Chain A
Amino acid sequence: MTKMSRRFFKGMIYAFLIFLLMLSVVPFYLVMINASHSSFDIVTKLNLWLGDALAENYRTMQTHVNIWRGFANSLLISASYTLLTGYFGAFVAYGFAKFDFRGKKILYGIVLASMMIPSQVSIIGFYQLNLKLHLLNTYWPFILPGIASASTVFFMRGIITQSIPDSMIEAARVEGCGELRIFNRLVYPCVLPGIVTMCIFNFVASWNSYIGPLIIVSDSRKYTMPVMISMIKGLYLTNYGAMYLAIAISVVPIILVFCILSKYIVNGMTVGADK
């Protein structure tokens, strides 16, 4: 490739990237902008610049729900859930990846199958279960299942298989390390980038989950953000402005979490080489 065509090629790449960037970001921009406009303006025109209804939208929003309460609630649930998935996802995956035992295929099949169950109708059974367990109106039904996050296990199994050679584990065993210690000290730190990647995803999934908290939680002070956003909508759909503001508030923290955590998935973790 000549220098010219290489420049051109590079330029095309950047153009492509910027195009995708626009596609990704513009809807967010619209949401933020709409948050500062009155409901009427939102439905009549395409707003491209900041409006002046921010304070009013905020007031409307707060009369319907206490958004900061919902924020705190969502944070509590999502952080706890994510921490559990972050540890146990790898824990369980390690068992499947590096051990051979009777029924492994079937058990792993169950893990995968558990992802395939449509959730809409099982919500009724879920409610009854939590009723019997006296867990209604609490956050446990949304936190404890983090120990059994099938998608994390699925992903981490692949990562562990790809990046932890058996020899490494054998060597540790020979040196007399216990199994748990091998996992905690050796395997876990190695696959941390993979774990962080899944943590981001799990945090977002938990943050945005709606139907579960809606059905299980009845105390409005314990509502999570998605539920509150839905309440703001109102029966007659006249609170668009307040709703967009709530959506904007809901999105900002996950963006922050993402920015913080994304440092850890940065390239450069060429694991196998650093032996």
Chain B
Amino acid sequence: MRQRKGRRHTVSKSRYGYFFIAPFFIVFAIFSLYPILYTIFLSFQSWDGLGLVNSVGVKNYERLLKDEVFYQSLWNTFRMWMMNFIPQILTALVLSAVFTFHRIRGMRFFRAAFYLPNLITAASVGLLFNLLFDGDKSAMNHILTKIGLLEEPFAFFNSTVFASGLVSYIQWWMWFGYTTVIVMAGITTVDSGIYDAAMVDGATRTQTYVKITLPMIRPTLIYLSITSIIGGMQLFDVPATLTNSLGDPRKSILTTAMYLYNQGFRNHNYGYASTVSAGLFVIIAILSALCMSALQKKEREGQ
């Protein structure tokens, strides 16, 4: 069953393809399939966790479609993700360029240090930043009033803009090093001969980087974008531990994952929580598909 696509051969022996991907699907079927099916089942029920499970048909879904808090949480999550991802990818690209094209002393040390924030539990970070910012006598208020930037202590956590921005900052802080490492991993798999040649031909470093290196690491960038959006839309730990797990102030940092957790484990509406779960999944799938097609379209245009 050989297929020919122009000058490129696609490797045949397709049976072996199945062989290689089999372990994934076996383990997936064992460990992941049942919880997924169970959640879907629950989404059509009404259950308080300890009582009886009652079928309610599509009522939960109808409720979901009209649920303003759900939409607000989606917007919150997306907004916090955007404010985190764009700076993050820019920082990573700039740092990768710097590290690739310049000889920096202690590069390995810098890179390791930037990766550090990724190692700590998100919950601990939320706690730490809460400690630093909460209250009139908090460390940040103390510092900022002392150096004169603030006149009076500022209620950081009563400001929706600040709280939301802080979550984005924390996410950026935790991930920019990781993103840099991934981008650099992608760059090192590219044959450096190509851009060496380009530079000999007179291209500046910036031009080389943007026009040649970046397109060549497209799969890496796609990976970063997709995993970021998937992870970002499921954001839970940081906003849940930063303030009071209800998304205060005024639900500005209520993410959809928090919303569904609260509906399930606090309000004991496990059926509806499953429905929100399903809704979130659909949104993530749509966003990822859009992202993927946007990035791949550029590839087609570029060639």
Contact = CB atoms under 8 A, between A and B. Distances in A.
Nearest to A158: B219
Contacts of A259: 112
Interface in B125-170: 125, 128-129, 131-132, 137, 139, 142-143
Given A147-B27, A162-B189, A258-B115, A125 B36 contact: yes
A147 B24 contact: yes
Contacts of B10: 100, 166
A36 to B, nearest CB: 15
Contacts of B120: 27-28, 31, 208, 247, 251
Nearest to B20: A95
B123 A148 contact: no
Nearest to B280: A118
- The DSSP consensus for interface residues of chain A is helix
Interface in A219-275: 226, 229-230, 247, 250-251, 254-255, 258-259, 262, 265-273
A262 B185 CA distance: 11
A120 B273 contact: yes
Interface stretch (A53-61, A65-73, A105-113): A105-113
Given A141-B31, A272-B191, A120 B131 contact: no
A99 B23 contact: no
A166 B11 contact: yes
Contacts of B78: none
A39 to B, nearest CB: 11
Interface in B216-258: 216-217, 219-220, 222-223, 226-227, 230, 234, 236, 256-257
B190 interface: yes
A268 B220 CA distance: 18
A210 interface: yes
A83 to B, nearest CB: 14
Contact of A126 (B20, B35, B181): B35
Contact of A13 (B98, B260, B285): B98
Given A100-B14, A151-B227, A120 B190 contact: no
B71 interface: no
A10 B280 CA distance: 46
A148 B27 CA distance: 6
Contacts of A46: 139, 142-143
B212 to A, nearest CB: 14
Given A13-B104, A92-B24, A197-B181, A120 B260 contact: yes
A271 B187 CA distance: 11
Interface in B56-97: 91, 95
Contact of A208 (B122, B186, B216): B122
B27 to A, nearest CB: 4
Contacts of A62: none
A157 to B, nearest CB: 8
A204 interface: yes
A174 interface: no
Tier of interface size on chain A: 35 or more
B35 A154 contact: no
A201 B178 contact: yes
A76 interface: no
A101 B121 contact: no
Contacts of B188: 193, 267-270
Contact of B184 (A104, A201, A250, A267): A267
A61 to B, nearest CB: 15
Contacts of B178: 201
A213 interface: no
A2 interface: no
Contacts of B139: 45-46
B102 A116 contact: no
A30 interface: yes
B34 A115 contact: no
The 7 closest A-B pairs by CB, nearest first: A95-B20, A99-B17, A125-B38, A158-B219, A125-B35, A101-B14, A46-B139
30 contacts: A13-B102, A17-B104, A27-B129, A42-B131, A95-B19, A99-B13, A99-B17, A101-B14, A117-B39, A118-B256, A120-B236, A120-B257, A121-B264, A122-B35, A133-B30, A148-B27, A155-B227, A158-B220, A158-B222, A159-B186, A159-B220, A162-B216, A166-B11, A194-B189, A197-B185, A200-B115, A204-B119, A208-B120, A210-B123, A247-B124
Interface of A: 10, 13-14, 17, 20-21, 23-25, 27-28, 30-31, 42-46, 88, 91-92, 94-96, 98-102, 104, 107, 110-126, 128-129, 133, 141, 144-145, 147-148, 150-151, 153-155, 157-159, 161-163, 166, 169-170, 179, 183, 191, 193-194, 197, 200-201, 204, 208, 210, 226, 229-230, 247, 250-251, 254-255, 258-259, 262, 265-273
Given A20-B114, A120-B277, A148-B25, 12 more contacts: A27-B117, A43-B131, A117-B32, A117-B281, A118-B234, A122-B35, A124-B270, A129-B35, A153-B24, A154-B227, A162-B220, A254-B119
